[in-house]
Amino acid sequence: MVDSANIGQTAEEVERGNKRILRLPESAEEGRILGGRTAIEASLIVGIAETADRTEPDVATVRKRQEIALEEYAKHKGIWMDYARIEATWEGVEGRGGQRSGI
């Protein structure tokens, strides 16, 4: 599990402009900051998961590690959206006049 206290402190420093995340171009950094604290924290988590094992050559393995780290953190923060639960809820609405919008 990612150290949430450390992520939070670092995200705060990035948000205040005292630190930068250098993985992406400056325009992405601006967008990330405008996206708010969660976007900054997610970017930090992805970066940590990406560099956790620099010897891992398989991109799919690295992406899966990033996905798992983000899911764990989102659950810890209480912002995780469970796709299966959303689908089950949607099925109940669909029969009562709801339409799938494709979104």
Domain containing residue 64: 4-94
Confidence label for 67 from pLDDT (cuts 50, 70 and 90): very high
Q: Assess if residue 80 is contained within a domain.
A: yes
Please give the Cα distance from 59 to 9 (Å, whole number): 29
Closest to 53 measured CA to CA, from 62, 44, 64: 62
Number of domains in the chain: 1
Average pLDDT over residues 94-101: 54
User: Which tens digit of pLDDT belongs to each residue from 3-29?
Assistant: 777 898 999 998 888 988 887 788 887
Q: Assess if residue 102 is contained within a domain.
A: no
Q: Assess if residue 100 is contained within a domain.
A: no
- Is pTM beyond 0.85 here? no
User: Which tens digit of pLDDT belongs to each residue from 24-46?
Assistant: 788 887 888 788 889 899 999 98
Q: Assess if residue 27 is contained within a domain.
A: yes
- Output the pLDDT for position 1: 58
Closest to 44 measured CA to CA, from 56, 54, 55, 32: 32
Q: Assess if residue 101 is contained within a domain.
A: no
